[in-house]
Chains A and B, each alone.
Chain A
Amino acid sequence: MKKSAYVQQLDAINEYEFSPVPPEKHKGWKSFLGMYAGEHTAGTEFVIGPLFVVHGVSAIDLITGLLVGNVLAVFSWAFLTAPVATKTRLTLYALLEKITGKGLVKVYDVVNGLMFCFLAGSMIAVSASAIGIPFKIAMPGLADWYPTGIGWVLIVFVVGAIITLIATLGYNQVSKFANITAPWMILIFIAAAVAVLPQLGIYSIQDFWHVAQTKIWTGIPLEGQSKFTFWHIMFFAWFCNMAMHIGMADITILRYAKKWQYGFASFGGMFLGHFIAWIASGILCAAALGNIVPGPIAYTSAGIAGIICVVLAGWTTANPTIYRAGLAFQAIFPKTKRWKVTIIVGIITTMAACFPALVMKLLDFVALYGLVLMPMGAVIIIDIYVLKKLNMASNYAQFKNIPISWQAAGAWVITLIFCLALNVYLGVDIFFLGLPGWFIAAGLYIILSKLIQSKNINYAH
């Protein structure tokens, strides 16, 4: 059967899934600035800011926690992720195959791909919450975990189908889309928040801090919600994208960077999206009397432009996330074209998006998602920068031609068991587990490598 021109075009897109990105394909810093600003000024920002309000963080804890946490996140991208990306020029999955073996990377791919699906699903749900407004469809509330009606499900499926179609076109289309929406989107966030300040009793800049402390970030959580402190905000701001920086998922994106310093382009995303937009959406939540559903609070404050913003904000984040999930599953089925895998991923994501729990429990999910994938980031860093200095072989699975590197598998699984034990038995909040978890994973990988490698090989070469 003759292929259509569209399918031929899709087949011709080469995203260098299994080979290093050649120098002529490297991109300038603007591409990454647009990508990060677009991706992190997103639909979820409309949810996270209000959830901080719901959890009763105080104004001073919010501001200082966001400042410190976002700086640490930018440093993580710049000093950990980008140097690995520009040194190897490989996707995360191609690099992991060399280090951990094809068998283990398949397990990792399934976990990673599913996490990306759920994350993208929450963003599709955010977009859908805006599209439902003109159709007068009831939106899910803070207590809703399951689909709230056929109208909600229909809208989620329409949004999911469109986003999936764009994601099949690859990274270039995603980057172009993000570049166009990013500058306008952050202005919508700011404008929406500024316009509702008089409703909160703020008529001059001098009024702001007093109202911020007494009406917005009051320090008192809603009934049934846990209390957030400076440490919750700092660690959440640092680790909400832990899978992408410390977990190394973004080497797939940053492998296109001409220089490792382009990792600092994440600054745009952090301080526009995870500082200004989180503060702005917290203000919107307070002005909407505690409502946290993105579509309605954006419509109240910014009208139809607000609805468009929420829809596009969901898209700009869901697009690269579905793209990444497509790459993850393609590593499991390497003979299948990426766009075909992306369509399957899009269907799974859309089904997940029907469940409002993804939005209402977003903070916990985001923290869990980073934590689960983080140990492999520690394994990569140790493998590239430390093992040779300790007279051990890096890329051990490729070197020994084995399907599973048991030192990597052990470091991953034992770290997660340890973190789970800290959470269950000592009551350590999930937001705080990433930091000790990284050092445990790194230490375990070194110890297990020493035990396993010394038994098997001679490293003279």
Chain B
Amino acid sequence: MLAKFVSAIGLVLTIVPAFLVFKGILTLEENHHLMLLGTIFWFLSASFWINKDN
């Protein structure tokens, strides 16, 4: 359950900041940092549940 939550946070951090750049709220560089954070969250957590669900 915790792993899935962390994965969801990872995906949100991957996609949402890009739309904030589009809206002029974030800079492209800030977006890069948040996307990397989202990527780390995703890969640290997804392997704990994805292949077990399938």
Which residues of A are at the interface with B, using a C-beta cutoff of 8 A?
28, 30-31, 34, 176, 179-180, 183-184, 187-188, 190-192, 194-198, 202-203, 301-306, 308
Contact = CB atoms under 8 A, between A and B. Distances in A.
5 contacts: A31-B54, A34-B54, A187-B11, A303-B32, A303-B33
Given A34-B54, A183-B11, A184-B10, A191 B39 contact: no
Of all A-B residue pairs in the complex, the 8 with the closest CB atoms, nearest first, are: A303-B32, A191-B18, A305-B35, A195-B18, A194-B18, A195-B21, A187-B15, A305-B39
Interface residues of B, number: 27
Given A180-B51, A184-B39, A198 B24 contact: yes
B22 A184 contact: no
B43 to A, nearest CB: 7
A184 B21 contact: no
B14 A188 contact: yes
Nearest to A33: B54
Contact of A190 (B10, B15, B47): B15
Interface string B18-54: 1101101000110111011011001100110011011
B32 A305 contact: yes
A30 B29 CA distance: 36
A196 B46 CA distance: 28
Given A28-B54, A176-B51, A180-B47, A191 B15 contact: yes
Given A184-B39, A305-B36, A195 B22 contact: yes
A283 to B, nearest CB: 12
A179 B53 CA distance: 11
Contacts of A31: 54
Contacts of A191: 14-15, 17-18, 31, 35
- Where chain A touches its partner, the secondary structure class is helix
Contacts of A192: 18
A291 B50 CA distance: 35
A184 B42 contact: yes
A303 B21 CA distance: 14
Contacts of B17: 191, 195
Contacts of A28: 54
Interface of B: 10-11, 14-15, 17-19, 21-22, 24, 28-29, 31-33, 35-36, 38-39, 42-43, 46-47, 50-51, 53-54
B31 A195 contact: yes
B21 A198 contact: yes
A179 B18 contact: no
B14 A195 contact: no
A30 B32 contact: no
Given A194-B18, A195-B31, A197-B22, A308 B54 contact: no
Kindly name the residue among A180, A190, A196, A202 whose own CB sees the greatest number of chain B CB atoms within 10 A. Answer: A180
Contacts of A197: 22
Nearest to B29: A303
Contacts of A198: 21-22, 24
Given A302-B35, A303-B36, A305-B35, A194 B54 contact: no
Nearest to B10: A184
Contacts of A176: 50-51
B18 A305 contact: no
B33 A194 contact: no
B11 to A, nearest CB: 6
A190 B43 CA distance: 18
A30 B21 contact: no
Contacts of A305: 14, 32, 35-36, 38-39
Contacts of B39: 184, 188, 304-305, 308
Contacts of B31: 191, 195, 302-303
A194 B47 contact: no
Nearest to B19: A194
Contacts of B32: 302-306
B9 to A, nearest CB: 12
Given A190-B18, A305-B36, A305-B38, 15 more contacts: A30-B54, A31-B54, A176-B50, A179-B54, A187-B15, A188-B14, A191-B18, A195-B17, A195-B22, A195-B28, A202-B22, A303-B29, A304-B36, A305-B32, A308-B39
Given A179-B51, A302-B32, A308-B39, A184 B46 contact: yes
A303 B22 contact: no
Nearest to A191: B18
Contacts of B28: 195-196, 301
Query: Quick one: which of B10, B22, B28, B47 has the most chain A CB within 10 A?
Result: B22
